[in-house]
Amino acid sequence: MLAKVMLASLKTRRTSALLIVVAIAMSVLMIIGVDRVRHQVRANFSSTISGTDLIVSARGGPMNILLYSVFRLSDPTAGIRWNTVEYLADHPDVKWWIPIALGDSHRGYPVVATNDSYLTHYRYGRDQGLSLQSGRWFAGADQAVLGSAVAARLGYQQGERIVLAHGASGPAIVEHDNHPFTVVGILAPTGTPVDQSVHISLQGMALIHRGGAYLSGMPPMPGQALDKPDSVNAVMLGLERRMAVLSLQRELSRYDKEPLTAIIPGVQLQRLWRMTAAGENALRATSLAVLAVALLVLVSTVLAALEGRRHEMAVLRATGAGRLAVYTVIVGESLCLTMLGCMLGLGVLFAGQWGLAPMALAEWSLRLPDNFLALRELPAIGAILAAGSLAGLIPAEKAFRNSLADGLTPRN
């Protein structure tokens, strides 16, 4: 019966009730939405690279090595010599290796010179490998494979001829325009910096840096080893046994031919993420403020509506309603509104991420979550529901006290 009273009463005040529901839905949307983006950015971030046990580079700061070799954000320092690369490739602990040579760009997108193991061994996320969305992997010195975002933003198709510029970013000062590349393939989206990269072969890199002329004046014969540039910037290593990571890392730091640094990507990713925690906390504080405002709106609206409900309360009290019944009607109402608000907010969020997912992946390389509600969001939802019903406690107590002061006939 009380539920019927509550619902019927709510129905007569449906406009203001709807406004409260929308306000709560908005704050749920903000809180859960911000939390999901935060979580997803973190997940994307930590899944940028996986499966790689060590990244070897010339001696330098570990963070800098991570930034340029994985995120292509910072400028590479010195290179490592090719015979060191060969030493690494032949090392008994090493299962696979990916050379990375940087330093060129195409319209702001970094160019990565590498070999076939990049396609076969590079892993991101939960052991996901790269795949081609269209075309094929490069097979010659004048062929390039684009990351999905590069192709989408610049509108390139297979067969497009592109010119690379010297320098990692910014306006092209020196263009390698006597050695254009042909786009032969486009990678599928990954949500990692791979999407933002242009991939060419090591031969290609070697060629453009010699003015586009072949060393011998002749195109290389098949099998002829032109796949040997002077140096590369980093080598990613996959090991036979993960147990060997630390010992190999120690061994390489004592390598006597040239000074090397080997980093464990997972460890550096964690450190980098911790550095960005301040921004994350700011986001969280914002969403808490939004929730506080929504709950204040809830309390003040219920309080304001109470003045108009004095008669209603007097009738209930006179027919025998005690404190419990008054509380049930009013707290039940705010709990109902909060619940509806939560459902609406989650629904809109779900629809939004469903609608935006393809664009987010293509434009921002961000994978959106596809769930309606995650387990780790339950505490937040629970807190919102609890706060919503607690917000009803203040008006409920006030209604009860009003009825004591009003007696049988409420003042108007």
Partner 1 sequence: MSPVLEINDLEYRHPGQVRSFLQVPEFALQAGERVLFHGPSGCGKSTLLSLITGIRPMQSGRVQVAGQPFSTLSQRRRDAFRADHMGVIFQAFNLLPYLSAVDNVCLAASFSRLRCEREAGRRKEQRQAAARGLLSRLGLDDGPIDLPAWQLSFGQQQRVAAARALFGKPALIIADEPTSALDSRSRDTLLTLLCELCEQSGSALLMVSHDGQVGHHFQRSVDFASLAGEGSHAC
Tokens representing 30 are 């903000």
Q: Which of 279, 308, 322, 358 binds partner 1 (CB under 8 A)?
A: 322
Contact pick of 9, 74, 182, 231 for partner 1 (by CB under 8 A): 9
Contact, 229 vs 202, CB < 8 A?
A: yes
The CB-of-411 to partner 1 minimum distance in angstroms stands at: 11
Compare residues 219 and 322 and give the one whose CB is closer to partner 1: 322
Amino acid at 256: D
Measured CA to CA in angstroms, residue 227 lies from 30, 153, 160, 231 at distances of: 52, 31, 24, 11
Q: Enumerate the H helices of 54-160 as residue ranges.
A: 62-66, 82-90, 116-121, 148-154
CA-to-CA distance for 367 and 360, rounded, in angstroms?
A: 7
- Write the binding mask 69 to 108 for partner 1: x where contact by CB under 8 A, - elsewhere: ----------------------------------------
Binding of residue 16 to partner 1 (CB under 8 A): no
- What 3-state DSSP class applies to 79? coil
Q: Pick from 155, 282, 404, 411: which binds partner 1 (CB under 8 A)? A: 404
Does 8 participate in binding partner 1 (rule CB under 8 A)?
A: yes
Residue 408 as a binder of partner 1 (CB under 8 A): the answer is yes
Per CB under 8 A, the list member of 11, 126, 242, 254 interacting with partner 1 is 11
Is there binding between residue 321 and partner 1 (CB under 8 A)?
yes
Nearer to partner 1, 8 or 218 (CB): 8
Q: How far is CA 173 from CA 104, 177, 306, in A?
A: 11, 11, 71
Q: How far is the CB of 316 from partner 1 (least distance, A)?
A: 8
Binding-site member from 210, 311, 376, 401 for partner 1 (CB under 8 A): 311
- In the complex, what is the shortest distance from the CB of residue 396 to partner 1, in angstroms, rounded to a whole number? 15
In the complex, the smallest distance separating the C-beta of residue 343 from partner 1, rounded to whole angstroms, is 24
What is the pattern of x (binds partner 1, CB under 8 A) and - over residues 324-343?
Answer: xx------------------
- CA dist 76 and 233 (Å) reads 7
**Distance in Å, CB of 309 to partner 1, minimum:** 10
- Pick one of 159, 170, 223, 320: the residue that binds partner 1 (CB under 8 A): 320
Number of residues that bind partner 1 (CB under 8 A): 28
Q: How far apart are CA 77 and CA 400, in angstroms?
A: 73
Query: Does the protein bind partner 1 through residue 398 (CB under 8 A)?
Result: no
Of the pair 5, 349, the CB lying nearest partner 1 is at 5
d(CA 337, CA 331): 10
DSSP H or E segment with residue 207: helix 202-208
d(CA 341, CA 335): 10
Span interacting with partner 1, options 241-249, 308-316, 343-351, 390-398, rule CB under 8 A = 308-316
Shortest Å distance, C-beta 314 to partner 1: 8
Q: Are strands 143-146 and 181-187 parallel, antiparallel or unpaired?
A: parallel
Least distance in angstroms from the C-beta of 332 to partner 1: 14
- Mention every residue, 6+ apart, whose C-beta is less than 8 A from residue 10: 17, 333, 336, 337
Query: Is 5 near partner 1 (CB under 8 A)?
Result: yes
Interface residue with partner 1 among 70, 184, 314, 344 (CB under 8 A) is 314
Residues 242 and 244: their CA atoms lie apart, in Å, by 5
| CA within 13 Å, CB half, 57 | 25
By the 8 A CB rule, do 86 and 244 touch? no
Which residues are CB-neighbours of 309 under 8 A, at least 6 positions away?
9, 399
Cβ-based nearer residue to partner 1, 81 or 310: 310
Amino acid letter, 361: L
Pairing label, strands 109-114, 165-166: unpaired
Q: Does residue number 15 form part of the binding site for partner 1 (CB under 8 A)? A: no
**Closest distance of CB 402 from partner 1, Å:** 11
For partner 1, give the closer residue by CB, 23 or 321: 321
Farthest CA pair distance, the chain: 108
Residues near partner 1, by CB under 8 A: 1-2, 4-5, 8-9, 11-12, 311-312, 314-325, 403-405, 407-409
